[in-house]
């Protein structure tokens, strides 16, 4: 895939170098070249677990179920939510 992306980039550069393209096409070719460069640059960066030590630290954390009706004593309601519904009189 890298080879085909490089071929596309080279094709776009050749189109720009020819000088026969209208301004709108030139702009699109430039965006294409920049995008291919970004993709190729991202492929060159390899992410490993050695680069992300926090990933190893958080592997033992598990989700737990909590009763939605039970609030800790220090929890506060959102300011836009009324504390209790108002009943019509």
On whether residue 31 sits in a domain, the answer given is: yes
Question: Helices 2-18 and 23-44: crossing angle, nearest 10°?
Answer: 150
On whether residue 29 sits in a domain, the answer given is: yes
On whether residue 22 sits in a domain, the answer given is: yes
Question: pTM of the full predicted structure?
Answer: 0.49
On whether residue 76 sits in a domain, the answer given is: no
Q: Is the pLDDT of residue 39 over 70?
A: yes
Q: Is the pLDDT of residue 27 over 90?
A: yes
Q: For residue 79, what are its two tokens?
A: 């300011």
User: Which pLDDT value is given to residue 52?
Assistant: 57
Nearest to 34 by CA among 50, 13, 59, 3: 13
Cβ proximity of 2 and 43 under 8 Å: yes
Q: Is the pLDDT of residue 25 over 90?
A: yes
| Structural domains counted in the chain | 1
On whether residue 32 sits in a domain, the answer given is: yes
Q: What is the mean pLDDT of residues 30-39?
A: 93
On whether residue 65 sits in a domain, the answer given is: no
Kindly report, residue by residue over 54-82, the tens digit of the pLDDT: 555 555 667 777 666 656 666 666 566 55
Cβ proximity of 16 and 30 under 8 Å: yes
* Residue 19 structural domain: 2-43
């Amino acid at each position: 895939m890298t080879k085909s992306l490089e071929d596309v980039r080279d094709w776009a550069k050749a189109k720009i170098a020819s000088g026969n393209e209208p301004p709108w096409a030139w702009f699109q070719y430039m965006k294409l070249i920049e995008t291919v460069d970004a993709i190729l640059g991202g492929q060159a960066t390899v992410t490993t677990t050695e680069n992300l030590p926090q990933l190893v630290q958080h592997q033992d954390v598990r989700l737990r179920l909590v009763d939605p009706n039970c609030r800790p004593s220090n929890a506060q309601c959102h300011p836009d939510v009324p504390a209790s519904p108002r009943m019509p009189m």
